[in-house]
Amino acid sequence: MTAAEGGAAPAIMGDPGAAGRFGEFGGRFVPESLVPACMELEAAFRAAWADPAFRDELSSTLASYGGRPTPVTECPRLSAELGVRVLLKREDLAHTGSHKINNVVGQALLARRMGKTRLVAETGAGQHGVATATAAARYGMACVVYMGEVDTARQALNVFRMELLGAEVRPVTSGSRTLKDAVNEALRDWVATVEDTHYCLGSVMGPHPYPWIVRELQRVVGDEAREQCRVLLGGADPDVVVACVGGGSNAAGTFAGFADATTSALVGVEAAGGAAMANGIPGVLHGMRSNLMQDEAGQILEAESISAGLDYPGIGPEHAHLAAVGRARYETATDAEVLDAFQLLSRTEGIIPALESAHALAWVVRAARAGDDMVRPGATVLITLSGRGDKDVAQVRELLA
């Protein structure tokens, strides 16, 4: 039955089904040896997600350990400067300093339910690695985190945090020595150790069921934000909802709370040097079909970003689908704009954002000052502040010197 015949319209951000497809994107493009592991993971997640006991344990852990719900914060001084009402969804206040804890607690509980005793993960800015190491410590699991050699240098503090939590950090020296290559090594590890290891993938990317699992575990961000905004706005929704996008987990979680339940405009902001939506074309990488930065021969191009967490040459397949159907718009921010936004929020509101999150703010600043129709004077804009900037202060100090 169609919607016109009286049936419910299919959800824009719904279940991608056994094929793991978001329109033409997604899927499961992995070696034959990994297909059973992916199918086992999908079956385990479906069973867990339908189990009230699992959902209750996840919710209670995120509340008592993860610090949920995180608040929505008004930004009066920044709002006055930009001429729009700016609200921040404060994932920087979650345990470990970013939204990543929502996903890793869920995946760690799932791994334990599946009888796995070891977690492997990839990380760029280090926040997912720190969160994975944190969950592994809480549940008594071994943990190995793969991190590009370039990123271990610019995020040395997070490397120490992971090691302090008991994880082994393995620098990756192949390729660009950044996030893409860390994903490659984590996948190789999982192939070789799948009997006792769960790959705790950090973003809405990779082979099915990962993009769906991570989105559902991050949906709490958008669901909370929608209800919090309705309280602040007298039952109304924000005009625009904005989040930064690398693979896109914080954006997918945020958008999931608004895509079907509201008419709020959705904007994802990529790094200008890694803009898979602006400069990419469909292709296959890391087990998924999505928009990727590649040359005419199909070779993956290197992404460049001031932010280690957005230094990825692709985008999660559901984001590619949201753009294709017109439900979300994807923009870019340059390194210079990001540095300005980083300082602006710090100076006006006393909140130091992660460089990743500063991309979302940078686009809002530019759009408001340029008179973009979407960010018209008086509009209400919700920005997901996906992480705090402690990890980036030393890097920013050097860049501004």
Question: pLDDT of the chain along its 401 residues, tens only?
Answer: 344 445 567 899 999 999 999 999 999 999 998 999 999 999 999 999 999 999 999 999 999 999 999 999 999 999 999 999 999 999 999 999 999 999 999 999 999 999 999 999 998 878 999 999 999 999 999 999 999 998 898 888 899 999 999 999 999 998 888 888 999 999 999 999 999 999 999 999 999 999 999 999 999 999 999 999 999 999 999 999 999 999 999 999 999 999 999 999 999 999 998 788 878 899 999 999 999 999 888 899 888 888 877 888 999 999 999 999 999 999 999 999 999 999 999 999 999 999 999 999 999 999 999 999 999 999 999 999 999 999 999 999 999 99
Contact 291, 320 (CB under 8 A): yes
Compute the half-sphere exposure of residue 251: CA atoms within 13 Å on the CB side of its CA: 33
Q: Which tokens belong to 156?
A: 């040395």
| Backbone phi, psi, residue 198, to 5° | -110, 130
Query: Is the separation of the CB atoms in 239 and 278 below 8 Å?
Result: no
Q: Is 143 a catalytic residue?
A: no
Catalytic annotation present for 359:
no
Choose the catalytic residue: 99, 128, 208, 359: 99
Domains and CATH numbers, the chain: 23-63+100-199 (3.40.50.1100), 67-98+218-400 (3.40.50.1100)
Catalytic residue among 38, 75, 200, 229: 75
Report the alpha-carbon distance of residue 236 to residue 223 in Å, rounded. 14
Bridge partner residues of 85 (DSSP) = 380
Predicted structure pTM score:
0.96
